Structures are given as structure tokens and as C-alpha cells.
Structure 1
Amino acid sequence: MYRLMSSIAVVIAIGAGLVITYVRYKVPERPRFDLDKWWGIGSKPKEEDTSIRIFSVDFNDTMIHDLKQRIRNRRPLTRPLEGIQSEYGMNTLYLEKILEYWVDKYDFKGRAALLNRYPHYKTRIQGLDIHFMRVKPDARGLKVLPLLMLHGWPSSSKEFDKVIPMLTTPKDGYDFVYEVIAADLPGFGFSEGTNKPGLNPVQMGIMLKNLMKRLGHEKFYIQAGDWGSQCASHMATLFPEDILGYHTNMPMSSRPISSFKLLLGSFFPNLAVDPKYVSRVYPLKKLFSYLIRESGYFHIQSTKPDTVGVALTDSPVGLAAYVIEKMAICSNRDQLNTPHGGIENLNLDDVLDTITIVWANNCIVTSSRIYAEGFQQPEVVLVQEIPTPVPTAAINFKYEVIYQPDWILKDKFPNLVRSTTVDVGGHFAGLQTPQMLADDVYAAGAAFLAFHNKSRR
């Protein structure tokens, strides 16, 4: 009885604190930012280059030869402990097999040609060369919805190469089709990084908004995951008049009220979350144990990205181990007891495409800095606290890093017009479950159009 009364008292105290906080908390006003802030080298010139240039992916012979030499000349790797598979990180016996494949069987030229089946471009936005793919559909008799697609770390627009044809091909039952603009975030993939501090996801969102404006799209839709979803969420917050709909495979509200709700729900988990998905959130001890176990890299990259970047820049073997281990755990966290640790849920060539792009462009440091720039920076925290009226759709894959139920997501996205939870897939949806992602983006597009039609009545 004492334990029951104590629990009730705790719930009442938390509930009271939640109510008081909610009543007292005033949502900040939308801040104003310099929409033309210069991120290029030196100071802003009087006249900017606004040209859009054709670009081609090229894994050149010099890079390939150097990469293979570095892999072949690696020092002997330390074997896993007895009885350990991937619990301590990358299984080096398994890594050896991947390295052999990378050197002897991975088709560098063929994989570059596969990426080049889409039109690639670069244009200078606020001083930085931004790379993107732009694929227009055959849209006879159909509405064309412009869709900006944004990836996260350690990825690039390559993450969407399987999804693009699915979205740019008309689909039965829909009176629209998508024009896809898949961009590399600044400092990622083939996009240029900055030499100035402060390029956080808010500022990246502004740059990508300017990219779409450069391409003639004043209003558009967004699909995004990981850090791309942070950029997209900030765009939806700062430019709700211009973002027509936002679809995300990593939906998350970072508002203070959401943290209170998460804690409160731990006392009534079957009421807070659909009983089928309770284990994705509760008990919190299990969730936090997982996050602590797997977020060491997050802390390193949020504090000292340049230090670990030295090793990853110098060694393709180290880079492969580091990136593969992260991609593996986010694809299936229940497979640490296997040598592959979860990476076999993704196609190996797709994984090596991702790593080769990072290596060829020497962008592991410039991409990793997003953690230091984006974590707990005042302007990022401020924008996170503001709800956005933009119609939003979410799909929750089984092994996504974070799962939040709709009643928490609506703190940030009150117009959550569609929410789907599935029992497969993981963090890299475009690579692992492309058809499921594309189907949901189509369904979301219909929901967005219905929302706007209703709003106009």
C-alpha cells in the first residue's frame, strides 16, 4: 500500500509540475535570421555566382589506387574477445571480409555510373557549393509536387537513389507525382563544407530553402530523416507559409513539454503508447540504457569532432569500421550477437557507396561537425521549442533510434495528418525499405493535399 501511495504521489507531483510548466511556458516568437548569411571563404562578394552547373560523380583512378593501397597496407587488426560478436563494436574478423570485397570486388566505376543515371548539379548557395540530384517526372495529366529530400549522417543524397524512381513514376490511385530534389547537406557528400563556425541545422535549413528558391520552387514539400529531419523541422517552423507538407521517417518533438509527457507516460505505459509498441519506449530504463550504450560517438562528435576526424580521414579501414558499426546498429539493434552486428540488413554495395563518397570527398570531419554545431546551440533550442502549423506525416520504422507516440509528436506538429508505425525497417529507410518509404510518401502527399483543400473552404 505504501508503494502504491508513493507512486500515486509521484504521478500527482509530476502531473502538477507538467500543468504548471505548460501554463507558465510561453512559446517563443519566431526569430528572424539573416537569410543570406555568408558561409564561404572570406567575405561576401559584391556579385554572387548563381549559376546551376551540371555535375558528374567520378571515382577517379588516383583515389581508387590510393584507397586500395591504404587498405592493403593496414596493420593487423585486433581480434574480438572470445565469445564476443559485435557487442564491443565492429567485429574485425567480419570487417576483414568487407575490406577484401571493397578492394577486389566493389565496382567503383560501375557504382559511380549507377549514381550518374540521375541528373546531378551544383550551385553556390551563400558561398558554398551545394550538390543535388534533380529528377523530373513524366507527368502528363498529373499535378507535380516538388519534393526536397534530405539525408543525415554519415550519408548523402545517395541514400535516396532507390526511392527516386518510385517517387517520380506515377502511382495508381494518385492524381499527382513528385519532382525530386535530393540534396547533400553542406559538408556532406559532394557539397562543400564551411570554414566558419555556426553552421547548424537551422542555418542549413535556411540554405536549403534558398536552394529550392534558386530552382524556382517558392513552395514545396520535404521528406527527411536523421539530421535532415532536424533541418526540415526548422524549415517548417521558420517558413510555414512556404513548406506545403513535411514527411519524416525520424519524427521527434524536442519541446520541454514532450520530455515531461515521456516521463509521465512511464507510469501508465499502456495508456501512453499503443500496447503493441510499448517496448519501443518503456520501460525508460531500457530505452536510456540503449541510448547510453550507443551514443558514445554522439558525445565525441558533439564535443571534439576534429580529433576523431584525424584518424577517420587518414585510414579507410578505420572509417569503414566506424561508419559500418553505426549503420549496423541503426538497422537492427537486436543483432549485436552476430558478427555483422546488423549491417546485413543493408546491401553491402549501398554501404560501400556511402563510405566511398565520404572518403573520396574527405568529408568525415565537415559532416561530423553538425553534431557540435547542432547540439544544444541557443538558436537551435529556440526554434525547437516553437510548434509548426505545417501539415506533417510520420512513419516509424521498427529500429529507428527514437519512437514517440502521436500525442507527444503533436506538441511540435499539431497538424499531424498521418502517422504510420511498422514492424520492419530501421534508420536508413531509403536503403533498407525503399518501397515502403515511397508508398508512405505518396500517401502523405494525398493527406497534405486534402489538408490544404479543407483549409481553403
Structure 2
Amino acid sequence: MSKILLGLLVAVAAYICWSTFSSGSSQVPKLDPQEWWGPKELKGKQDTSIRPFKVKFSDEMIKDLKSRLKNHRQFVPPLEGISFQYGFNTKAIEPWLKYWAEEYPFKEREAFLNKYPQFKTNIQGLDIHFIRVKPQVPAGVEVVPLLLMHGWPGSVREFYEAIPLLTKQQSGYNFAFEVVVPSLPGYGFSDAPVRPGVAPGQMAVIFKNLMSRLGFKKFYIQGGDWGSAVASSLATLYPEDILGHHTNFAMVQNKQATLKTILGAFFPSLVVESHLASRMYPLSSFFSYLLEETGYAHIQGTKPDTVGVSLTDSPSGLLAYILEKFSTWTNVENKLKPDGGLEIRFTKDQLIDNLMIYWTSNCITTSMRLYAEQTSSKNRELDLDSYTTPVPTWAFQTKSEMIYQPPSVLKTKYLNFLGATVLEDGGHFLALELPQIFVNDVFKAVNIFKDWHSKVKNTEL
């Protein structure tokens, strides 16, 4: 007991000292807005025009894919009594492979993926792919720009159900969004960097340049998963240009957040509301979850190219690797279901659309490299989370998201953290899983941001 008390006193003293004497770094680093990430021989020769783009499922690619799906080796059967606890249950995989090879309507889904205007433009040596949809609204309805950013193992496909809702006026609001939805560098149809160094901060620079090229000096941002890290970097690096920051994966990694989290393990009421304490504590449960569910991150953070070989070669492996995340990250209890609960919230076509983006662009290896870039010594030294930002911020926190942090923690970075929507439902892929609920919260948050700007007399657009 005396050791526990001593540990508590040390934690409290450390927290008090940190809160009293440290307000975080004030001078945010400046990243080179022209840093070149493409082939050196193309520097100074890139085409900076904005070019139309369409997704293409070639007959040759479809034939090869179907052959690989139909001619896989026999899978090892699962252990008795096991569902998805060991990963994707091989008894459940055959219906998915059969559907993909024999029933997935390739040309119809190609047309579906091309339903929104898509483009490419070269930013810092990389051809960046993006969707851009302008709203059709009555006169007098304001149009505001919104940058939407996905993560891993997602893609721009996550936002397809949300885009038509965002780009029309919603009841109670006198504005609608012009949305820009880029593929992260190395994801989908965006080029991958040819040299190390592109972590979330560098992606933020690329997307700031993209928005500037499209004519947007100031804009709103929304992100989940890696998109949330890029969004946070945008808010940190460009506070004068980001009008508001909405995230459905709110997470701060700085010393104050760590100390507050430790303090809450002893006195939860000092850190988190009682009815939400179970989302954070006991810490033993949280660390147990991390040990069970984040092994992939260590592999991808250290040896992404090794695992990328198998996932690039085998569509069966790609399906199992990616869809296991859509199962467990939507609801961790799904791993107790023989089918992984995949079709509770998603359709086969929705999930295979996402797989097709990875398969046709051959981007699984380059997408996973982002984990290595995030954990690199260069990125750790940059430490953007240690810098605060005044950008107004709103969090959407679902029941089954992997990490929950309360306002008291999030405010250690987001000085104008205006609030959170805490949902007793939903998981990690929120825009795809619950698009109307997602859209409702984005509208609510931006309305709050606009009110905040008017009160502080800060000019918006």
C-alpha cells in the first residue's frame, strides 16, 4: 500500500509541476512547403495542372484477380470454438472470395467509384488524387470548403455515402459544403513518396498546398484514423488558415496528456466524467486491449515492406488482413462472431470497393509505410503533438473507438476545444458505418465554429 501511495504522490506532484511550469512549446516548426518527394529527375518539370481522373478496372486486371481468388491454396482450418479471436476465420473467408470472384459486379462498381468528379495534380513531386464535389444550393445558402481525410486501411471510399449529404443544405443550417477528399500520399490513386520522411506533418503540407491550388486560403478540416493525425498537423502548422477542426479519432500524445491519464488511474473524477470512466480505465484493460489488437502496427511500423510482399501478391491475404480490421474496429465484440459481424453495418460491395482501391493501385505496401514514418526518429524529434493550437476543435467519440480521451486531456493541445459528441454506438469507420450521424455532427460542429468566430470577431472566409 505504501508503494501505491508513494507512486500516487509522485504522479500528482509531477502533474502539478508540469501544469504549473509548462505551457507547451510556443514556436511551431516550419516545414518546407516545397520539399520534393517525387523522383529527383522530375524536379522542376512537373505538370501542376489539375487533370480529370477516372478509376479503371481493366479486363486484364479483372481476369488476373479472378484467377488468383479462385486458385488459392487450401487454408488452414481454424481452431475448435474460435471465431475471429485469432484473426480472420478461414471458414468465413470462402464466401467472400467466391463473391469477389463470381458475383461482385466489377463494371457497375467501377461506375459507382466514378460517380463523383475526380482529379489529379502534382504537389511536391507527387500526383495527388482527390474528389471534389461542389454543392447545388439555393441562392443565399453559404458554401464552405471542407477537406475530408481518411486513414488506414480505409480510402476515399469511406466518404461516398456522406458526400451527397454534406453537399446539400441540411435542416436548420444555412450552409452546405464543397468537399475535397484526397487520397493520402501512398494510398489509393495518389503517388507514394520515393524517399523516407513523409509522416502526417509532411502530408499536412501537401494538403495545404493542394487546397491553395484549388483556391482555398481558409477551410475546415475533418479526419479519422491517420486522417485525424494529418488534420491535427494542419491545425498545428497553419492555425491562421484552418477555420475549424472536426475529428472522429481525437487523440493527444504529449506529456501533459500522459500525466493526466496516469492521474486519472488513481482519481478518475479529476480527469473524466464518471459515466465515461470505463472508456479509459482501468489502464490494465486498456493495455491488454493494445497487446491484443495492435500487433499489426508494430509490424507496419518496423517491417512494412516484408508483410507488403504477401498482401501485394495475394488478394485472399489482402481481404483477410484488411477486413479483419473492419470487423474488430467496428466493434471489438465482433471477434466473438463466426462471421466477424462484417455485414452488420457494411455490405460486401462497400468493403470490396475499398479492397479494389488497394488492389488496383497496388498501394498496400506504400500505405503501411506511414506507420514507419510516424515512428521514425525524425518524426519523433519534430513532435508536433507537443505544440498547442488555437484552432477551434470538436470531437466525435464513438462507443467502440479504440481510444477515448476526455476534454480535460484534449485541451492540453487544443486550446479552443469547444466540445465533443459522445455516441453510445459506432466504431472506427464512422463515415462509412453511420453516414447520416457523421454528417449531422459535422454540420453541428461547423455551425459551432462559425458562432465561435463571430464572437471572437475573427474573419472567416
Alignment TM class, shorter chain as reference: over 0.9
- Are 1:397 and 1:422, in contact at CA under 8 Å, matched by a contact in 2? yes
- Are 1:237 and 1:388, in contact at CA under 8 Å, matched by a contact in 2? yes
Write out aligned runs for 1:287-366 (5 A). Answer: 287-344=286-343, 345-366=345-366
Per the alignment, residue 402 of structure 1 pairs with 403
Per the alignment, residue 164 of structure 1 pairs with 163
Distance 1:47 1:121 in 2: 19
**CA offset digits 1:10-58 (Å, max 9, x no partner):** 3222110112234444623211111111111124533542100111111
Distance 2:54 2:41 in 1: 29
Per the alignment, residue 136 of structure 1 pairs with 134
Per the alignment, residue 433 of structure 2 pairs with 432
Does residue 152 (structure 1) correspond to residue 154 (structure 2)? The answer is no
Does residue 119 (structure 1) correspond to residue 120 (structure 2)? The answer is no
Aligned pair count reads 454
Does residue 16 (structure 1) correspond to residue 13 (structure 2)? The answer is yes
- Secondary structure at 1:17 match in 2: helix
What letter corresponds to residue 347 of structure 2 in structure 1? N
Per the alignment, residue 96 of structure 1 pairs with 94
Q: Percent of aligned positions with the same letter in both sequences?
A: 47
Per the alignment, residue 452 of structure 1 pairs with 453
- Are 1:331 and 1:346, in contact at CA under 8 Å, matched by a contact in 2? no
Write out aligned runs for 1:56-67 (5 A). Answer: 56-67=54-65
Write out aligned runs for 1:200-215 (5 A). Answer: 200-215=199-214
- Are 2:271 and 2:409, in contact at CA under 8 Å, matched by a contact in 1? no
**CA offset digits 1:380-407 (Å, max 9, x no partner):** 5521110110001110011111100110
Instruction: Note the C-alpha offset of 1:378.
Output: 3.8
Which segment is superposed worse, 204-213 or 377-386? 377-386
- Secondary structure at 2:383 match in 1: helix
Per the alignment, residue 238 of structure 1 pairs with 237
**CA offset digits 1:317-337 (Å, max 9, x no partner):** 111111111121100101211
- Are 2:297 and 2:371, in contact at CA under 8 Å, matched by a contact in 1? yes
Distance 2:144 2:23 in 1: 35
- Secondary structure at 1:133 match in 2: strand
Per the alignment, residue 74 of structure 1 pairs with 72
- Are 1:155 and 1:189, in contact at CA under 8 Å, matched by a contact in 2? no
Distance 2:55 2:277 in 1: 44
Per the alignment, residue 195 of structure 1 pairs with 194
- CA gap 1:377/1:137 in 2 versus in 1, 3 angstroms: farther
Does residue 84 (structure 1) correspond to residue 82 (structure 2)? The answer is yes
Instruction: Note the C-alpha offset of 1:115.
Output: 1.8
Distance 1:54 1:298 in 2: 35
Distance 1:71 1:47 in 2: 41
- CA gap 1:44/1:34 in 2 versus in 1, 3 angstroms: farther
Instruction: Note the C-alpha offset of 1:9.
Output: 3.7
Which segment is superposed worse, 333-342 or 237-246? 333-342
Distance 1:193 1:343 in 2: 30
- Secondary structure at 2:144 match in 1: strand
The TM-score, its normalising length taken from structure 2, stands at 0.96
What letter corresponds to residue 358 of structure 2 in structure 1? V
Instruction: Note the C-alpha offset of 1:272.
Output: 2.7
**CA offset digits 1:85-125 (Å, max 9, x no partner):** 11111101101111111111111111121121111111111
- Secondary structure at 2:456 match in 1: helix
Distance 2:263 2:182 in 1: 39
- Are 1:38 and 1:44, in contact at CA under 8 Å, matched by a contact in 2? no
- Are 1:333 and 1:342, in contact at CA under 8 Å, matched by a contact in 2? no
Distance 1:342 1:269 in 2: 33
Per the alignment, residue 277 of structure 1 pairs with 276
Does residue 384 (structure 1) correspond to residue 377 (structure 2)? The answer is no
Per the alignment, residue 369 of structure 1 pairs with 369
Distance 1:278 1:80 in 2: 36
Distance 2:304 2:34 in 1: 27
**CA offset digits 1:282-303 (Å, max 9, x no partner):** 1110111001111110000000
Distance 1:23 1:365 in 2: 44
Q: Which runs of 5+ in 2 are unaligned?
A: none
Per the alignment, residue 257 of structure 2 pairs with 258
- Secondary structure at 2:266 match in 1: coil
What letter corresponds to residue 208 of structure 1 in structure 2? F
- Secondary structure at 1:169 match in 2: coil
Per the alignment, residue 32 of structure 1 pairs with 30
Distance 1:265 1:161 in 2: 39
- Are 2:373 and 2:379, in contact at CA under 8 Å, matched by a contact in 1? no
Distance 2:273 2:424 in 1: 13
- Secondary structure at 1:178 match in 2: strand
- Are 2:36 and 2:43, in contact at CA under 8 Å, matched by a contact in 1? no
Distance 1:227 1:104 in 2: 33
What letter corresponds to residue 334 of structure 1 in structure 2? E
**CA offset digits 1:150-174 (Å, max 9, x no partner):** 0001121111000000100101111
Distance 1:439 1:420 in 2: 11
- Are 2:398 and 2:422, in contact at CA under 8 Å, matched by a contact in 1? yes
Distance 2:187 2:445 in 1: 27
Q: Which runs of 5+ in 1 are unaligned?
A: none
Write out aligned runs for 1:224-235 (5 A). Answer: 224-235=223-234
- Are 2:50 and 2:119, in contact at CA under 8 Å, matched by a contact in 1? yes
Distance 2:23 2:262 in 1: 21
What letter corresponds to residue 64 of structure 1 in structure 2? I
Does residue 50 (structure 1) correspond to residue 48 (structure 2)? The answer is yes
**CA offset digits 1:202-240 (Å, max 9, x no partner):** 101100000000100011000100001101101100000
- Are 1:418 and 1:447, in contact at CA under 8 Å, matched by a contact in 2? no
